[in-house]
Structure 1
Amino acid sequence: MQTRFARLLAGGVAAAALTLPGLASADSHTAIPSAMTGAAMTNESQAAPLIPRSALFGNPTRASGQISPDGQWLSWLAPKDGVLNIWLAPVDNPDAARAMTSAADRPIRQYFWSPDSRAVMYIQDKGGDENFLLYSVDVASGAETTVTPFTNTRVEIIGASNTIKDKLLLGINNRDPQWHDVYLLDIPTGELTLVMENNAYAGFMADDSLTLRMAMSQNEAGGTDYFRVEGNTVESEPFETTAMEDSLTTGPAGYTTDGGTLYWIDSRGRNTAALFAQDTATGAKRLIAEDDKADIGSTLRDPQTGEVEAYAVDYLTTEWHATDPETRASLDWLDQQLEGEFGVSSRTDDDRTWIVWNDPLTKPAATFIYDRAAQTLTPFYISRPELEGAPLVPMHPVEITSRDGLILPSYLTLPPMSDSDGDGRPDQAVPMVLLVHGGPWARDGYGFNSLHQMLANRGYGVLSVNFRGSTGFGKDFINAGNKQWGLTMHDDLIDAVDWAVAEGIAQPDKVAIMGGSYGGYATLAGLTFTPQTFACGVDIVGPSNLETLLASIPPYWAPMVKIFHERMGDPGTEEGRALLRAASPLYKADRIEKPLLIAQGANDPRVKQAESDQIVDAMKSAGIPVTYVLYPDEGHGFARPENNIAFFAIAENFLAECIGGRAEPLGDALKPSSARIIEGEEHVKGLEAALAS
């Protein structure tokens, strides 16, 4: 069944993308400084104190709060000796907290409770290599064990159970990096028993009895075939299949506890993905929910029966709809108590207690313990208390129309006190950063965003655009981006800039482009394909050559590589190679005219270091200046807060020189980090001095 584990690190066919995990998170405790560099801002902007980088990108005070399934324990992530670790306290004595783990160099970012509440478990890689191993900590004894003590291995959670609480089904690729074999884990003993050797399937799904029920593989068309599994044997013919056009918007969403119902998020025969319930005996499907603008997103499921109680629709903002009367009453009550966005992050088995997060949008996020029967909200923690009273600003959802009539759901954040009437338009045009999301098969969403807040605080408008190819808005929107890297996908970003200029939001000569992963690619494309549009660019782990990108994908993505070929271009064909080459910024590096800052993790398994190295080399050969920052202990994004702080220290001073905003001086921000300046320290104000100090 689909449980609170949410198929952590699921291996489904649609899972691979150039998304950027954990680029920026965090918190610290620093007074708000007033110093700034860069061109003078308006009096209003000067009146808003600078929010320190450490308050936005350092460690949170607490994060990821959960309650054990039996309701006896509270858990969360918090710093121990400066590194995020798992902490635990009895529900009836939250002050008696103790650290359960001792991570010393890399923060723990994902953890969960064992179904029997006897252990907290977490995954961790090394230096960003994404070879995630599974660890377990016994609550009673505090003993920690490495559940998967292998090298070059990535673990997946395939199944968990509400009735078999001492076991998990795992996928482990230590035999062959392309394929995850299925193992049954006995949690108390740590014993692993092979259930199925796998040489053909990209993912599996199990029911509550931890019996494999389904296997998935990519078909020749780039869609997905779904096979029944009986007695750990996969049937030869699929019982469900999708074409490529539905591959990112259709998939199984888990079984009910009794195994009688299989839920689907399904776009077949329609545009937006709807929620269906399928009778596993007859195959009959029943429509539960649909929306004409957005795909059905998250669901709340009964902890005991596994039945859907509520679902979310996320178009511009998130809207929850309950199918169960008691759940509806709880959500309605929470909506009356809380300002802004909220959600349920953890629940007890008896469903009496929920852990509820709340994003008030212009205040630091808070987490509460919700007693449903008593209707009480008890404060658990505030993740970033040092942001209380800081000049946080609202995010404005907007719709932008592309040149060919496509509606692009987008988000705009403005500098503090720049919008006196609160209409989402500044009183006068401001410098702007176009912040592009990764994926590209991902999306930007509504809510508190540390990078939006930092950039707005420095005096910039910040615009994030869900360009075609983004997920969540129906398959037509996704498929409009097929084989459009550097073409209409890029046109959408240019159209968004033109819209912002026409609306009096952005100063046309002071627009920067910035992003990570696919957003890094978009930055390179912006400076090469349309070199006059942007004043400068910040590329974080972005690919520069789509041919070499596809030639170096991680081995566990190989079973789903067809989707890349169908949506980007097939390097096995002359036409595909031409398409990939034409869309690769590397071959147009000599067109770059504006300043460029590049950041790369040396251990990145998705976008290898060579992607940054080769465009830096091409620019050097053409005599074009570039600043290149390498992190030897990071991968696809920056996990260590010291590295986040160091990079955004460089980035904000780079932007201040380029488009005239404010910046907190570099100071000693680089010292705790692993940052190596490979090229161009002279192009960022204060960087040479910071390196020399």
Structure 2
Amino acid sequence: MAFLNLQRISCCIPILLFSLLATTPSTVVYANTSTATSLPSVESFFEYPAMSSVALSPNGRNVAMLVADKEGKLRLGVMDVVERKPKVLASLDDADVSQFHWVNNDRLVFSAGDHTIGQGNQQGGPGLYAIDLDGKNFRQLVDRSASMLTGRNSNVQGILPFNTIFYTTDAKKDSDDIYVLQLGTRNNLVNDSHRQPANLLRLNTRTGHATIIDRPGFTTGWIMDQQGEPRVATTEDGDIASVFYKDTSDEKWRKLASFNILSNGFIPEFIGPDGVLYVRSHNGGDKESLYRYDLSKNAIDPTPVVSLKGYDYAGSVVYNDKKFLGVHYETDADDTLWFDKDMQTMQQQVNALLPGTVNRINVARRSETPYVLVTSFSDVLPSTFFLYDSAAQKLILLGRTMPHIDPQQMATKDMVHYKARDGLDIPAYLTLPNVAKGKDKKNLPLVVLVHGGPWVRGGDWRWSREVQFLASRGYAVLEPEYRGSMGFGWKHFHAGWKQWGLAMQDDVADGTKWAIAQGIADPKRICIAGASYGGYATLMGLINDPKLYKCGFEWVGVTDINLMYNVTWSDASDESKKYGTPVLVGDQVKDAAQLKATSPLENAARITQPLLMAYGGSDVRVPQIHGSKFYDAVKANNPNVEWITYPEEGHGWRLMKNNVDFWTRVEKFLDKNIGAQ
């Protein structure tokens, strides 16, 4: 049983990690902590964040954050924004504080986790605890042990079962309530191939009393209005998604729309302070935008609120209790669109103090102070947190996520575009390493890093551990947003359907050839790499284009599409196998010949290039059998295959020691095969 540590002594927070250095209205300069000739260590890229999850209280008078102690354990720290005397509010004896949220001005909730334990060794859920700002009235709300599960009752009293997670706070002022979700067990520790709905409960953080909210069907998501009431619910029934709205007049759910889960429907985004529902939709066009939804007409307004040229809208809204202030969004890099003139002015002031970085401003819901939060980052700088005093126009440095990273040693990243062989425009991020003075960034060794998913946007302009590590060792890195990637319009996404190993693979090869034609890449020193789907693309790249890639390294990669259907202990639901995978990847019966032709496992004998493979022994997304079966097949004809397993890891490396081990192996592998020098 974990016990709460109520230390509240300011000296207990490492001063370098909880810096409170007021800056005058001038540029903030980051110190160069490394020598000009030394390479940053592998550990510096993959260490755990020193500070994260910074948030203002609803009244803006206090700021809370997660801060690591000397042993790296995360604790919940709080600080009055005026007095600026930090204190540790809570820590757990046997775990990190992994997440927190303000319930109201005087109370917070937090959950547990342990970044030193791999997925396979996790023995319970995150739990949930509540505590007052002064350290009093502590209460455990959710059990961390899997031993207690309860049925669905209308009212629940006492500690809730482990499969209960925080969802959102009650927006009403001074409310002690929050909302939590009770998920199906397959979303937690017990593997069950049948999806279960997300039950929503209103939970009082002082009494522990919980009430289940009536849901309109098989719920997959909820949205609250500004009075803290559940107002929108999304459901799924087979391959049909529906959106329901609860009218304030009769408090009954009514259906707004239904559509196929893979069609151009709409996604509810949030309900503004004025009661307007905002949704994301293509609305008949190629790019997704942010729209108002007219509840009286059951229709999307024809004119978008936010539309981005060349990109789908993706971002987060910024608002207080009075108005919708603006949106943080992403195109080739991150930016903010403000609808409020005062916020526009404040953004200009902050940008003048912090030039060369993206500076995201977030506000308190009902601020009683001139303070806002600023998160500053770039391609060479991991996130740094500030308070900004808008009255004095002064920044107060709170801390950095990665204090051992020297921006001057990092490499710049830019978005580029190239044409695929069928003419489709392919965006990609290109990171070029720092080179010796007097040398051009030409004819470089190149790592083509293929993102996983694949139905996600893979890269962004922010600092990346893996990319910057490779660049620090002298490698250019190309990250293609091949067809099927999301964020670049419906046409780009739809063009990737059933194109695993085919046109999706050609897009990656065409990007590699573009880098050669531009003089960036040395055609004799190119390696392909990636994880998950990126691992699949790595293997298919070595098979389809043996003259293009001299080597490949992949981790947790899919090695056979049929295994995605046949392995019963994966986390793929029956619904995804029935409605998603046959449409997006291929049908086992109708597309049997294609799935065989595009299976790395079936074509393993064709890979003769050096290959590095790594898998997690506790991976339920791509179970280890993908790797072991392929390794057994490929090693018969290829003596240059290195095989690694991390028994306690899941779908990717959680533990720092394993990240350091893996990327140290990658460094040696690349140096041997396409050497940066």
Q: TM-score, normalised by structure 1?
A: 0.80
3-state SS, counterpart of residue 83 of structure 1: coil
Cα gap change, 1:241/1:336 in structure 2, threshold over 3 Å: closer, same or farther?
farther
Correspondent of 1:161 among 159, 170, 178: 170
RMSD of aligned Cα (Å): 3.2
CA distance in structure 1 between the aligned counterparts of 2:659 and 2:603, rounded to whole angstroms: 29
**8 Å contact from structure 1 (residues 362, 394) kept in 2:** yes
Correspondent of 1:207 among 209, 216, 225: 225
Q: Deviations over 1:295-333 (max 9, x none)?
A: 12213332214x532234422222322222222222232
3-state SS, counterpart of residue 385 of structure 1: coil
Cα gap change, 1:430/1:611 in structure 2, threshold over 3 Å: closer, same or farther?
same
Cα gap change, 1:175/1:296 in structure 2, threshold over 3 Å: closer, same or farther?
closer
Letter of the structure 1 residue corresponding to residue 314 of structure 2:
G
CA distance in structure 1 between the aligned counterparts of 2:524 and 2:93, rounded to whole angstroms: 46
What residue is the counterpart of 2:478 in the other structure?
463
Q: Deviations over 1:571-607 (max 9, x none)?
A: 3xx1144443333211111111112212222222322
**8 Å contact from structure 1 (residues 598, 629) kept in 2:** yes
CA distance in structure 2 between the aligned counterparts of 1:565 and 1:212, rounded to whole angstroms: 34
3-state SS, counterpart of residue 521 of structure 1: helix
CA distance in structure 1 between the aligned counterparts of 2:316 and 2:557, rounded to whole angstroms: 32
**8 Å contact from structure 2 (residues 218, 236) kept in 1:** no
Q: CA deviation at 1:512?
A: 0.9
Letter of the structure 1 residue corresponding to residue 587 of structure 2:
D
What residue is the counterpart of 1:600 in the other structure?
615
Q: Deviations over 1:618-674 (max 9, x none)?
A: 224555542222222222222222222222111111111121137xxxxxxxxxxxx
3-state SS, counterpart of residue 409 of structure 2: coil
- After superposing on structure 2, the runs of 4+ consecutive aligned residues of structure 1 that deviate more than 6 Å are 31-34, 230-233
3-state SS, counterpart of residue 410 of structure 2: coil
Higher relative contact order (CA 8 A, sep 6+): 1
Correspondent of 1:285 among 271, 280, 300: 300
CA distance in structure 2 between the aligned counterparts of 1:99 and 1:593, rounded to whole angstroms: 57
3-state SS, counterpart of residue 91 of structure 2: coil
**8 Å contact from structure 1 (residues 369, 378) kept in 2:** yes
3-state SS, counterpart of residue 360 of structure 2: strand
What residue is the counterpart of 1:430 in the other structure?
444
Q: Which runs of 5+ in 1 are unaligned?
A: 1-25, 35-46, 663-693
What residue is the counterpart of 1:440 in the other structure?
454
**What is the aligned residue count?**
608
**8 Å contact from structure 1 (residues 315, 409) kept in 2:** no
Q: CA deviation at 1:232?
A: 8.3
Q: CA deviation at 1:349?
A: 2.3
**8 Å contact from structure 1 (residues 48, 457) kept in 2:** no
What residue is the counterpart of 1:127 in the other structure?
118
Correspondent of 1:336 among 338, 352, 355: 352
Letter of the structure 2 residue corresponding to residue 369 of structure 1:
L
Cα gap change, 1:428/1:137 in structure 2, threshold over 3 Å: closer, same or farther?
same
Q: Which runs of 5+ in 2 are unaligned?
A: 1-16, 18-31, 148-161, 187-191
What residue is the counterpart of 1:147 in the other structure?
142
**8 Å contact from structure 1 (residues 114, 121) kept in 2:** no
What residue is the counterpart of 1:521 in the other structure?
536
Correspondent of 1:295 among 300, 309, 312: 312
Cα gap change, 1:434/1:406 in structure 2, threshold over 3 Å: closer, same or farther?
same
Q: Is residue 440 of structure 2 the alignment partner of residue 451 of structure 1? A: no
Q: CA deviation at 1:390?
A: 4.7
CA distance in structure 2 between the aligned counterparts of 1:383 and 1:398, rounded to whole angstroms: 28
Q: CA deviation at 1:438?
A: 1.7
Correspondent of 1:381 among 368, 376, 399: 399
Q: Deviations over 1:120-139 (max 9, x none)?
A: 42364873269853422414
CA distance in structure 1 between the aligned counterparts of 2:104 and 2:642, rounded to whole angstroms: 48
CA distance in structure 2 between the aligned counterparts of 1:651 and 1:493, rounded to whole angstroms: 21
CA distance in structure 2 between the aligned counterparts of 1:419 and 1:410, rounded to whole angstroms: 27
Cα gap change, 1:244/1:363 in structure 2, threshold over 3 Å: closer, same or farther?
closer
Task: Spell out the pairing of 1:538-557 with structure 2 (5 A cutoff).
Answer: 538-551=553-566, 552=568, 557=573
Cα gap change, 1:639/1:633 in structure 2, threshold over 3 Å: closer, same or farther?
same
What residue is the counterpart of 2:646 in the other structure?
631
Cα gap change, 1:439/1:53 in structure 2, threshold over 3 Å: closer, same or farther?
same
Q: Is residue 417 of structure 2 the alignment partner of residue 417 of structure 1? A: no
Q: Is residue 94 of structure 2 the alignment partner of residue 76 of structure 1? A: no
Cα gap change, 1:465/1:192 in structure 2, threshold over 3 Å: closer, same or farther?
same
CA distance in structure 1 between the aligned counterparts of 2:581 and 2:240, rounded to whole angstroms: 11
Q: CA deviation at 1:405?
A: 1.5
What residue is the counterpart of 1:183 in the other structure?
201
**8 Å contact from structure 1 (residues 223, 563) kept in 2:** no
CA distance in structure 1 between the aligned counterparts of 2:565 and 2:130, rounded to whole angstroms: 38
What residue is the counterpart of 1:216 in the other structure?
234
Letter of the structure 1 residue corresponding to residue 281 of structure 2:
D
CA distance in structure 1 between the aligned counterparts of 2:620 and 2:554, rounded to whole angstroms: 17
Q: TM-score, normalised by structure 2?
A: 0.81
**8 Å contact from structure 1 (residues 420, 427) kept in 2:** no
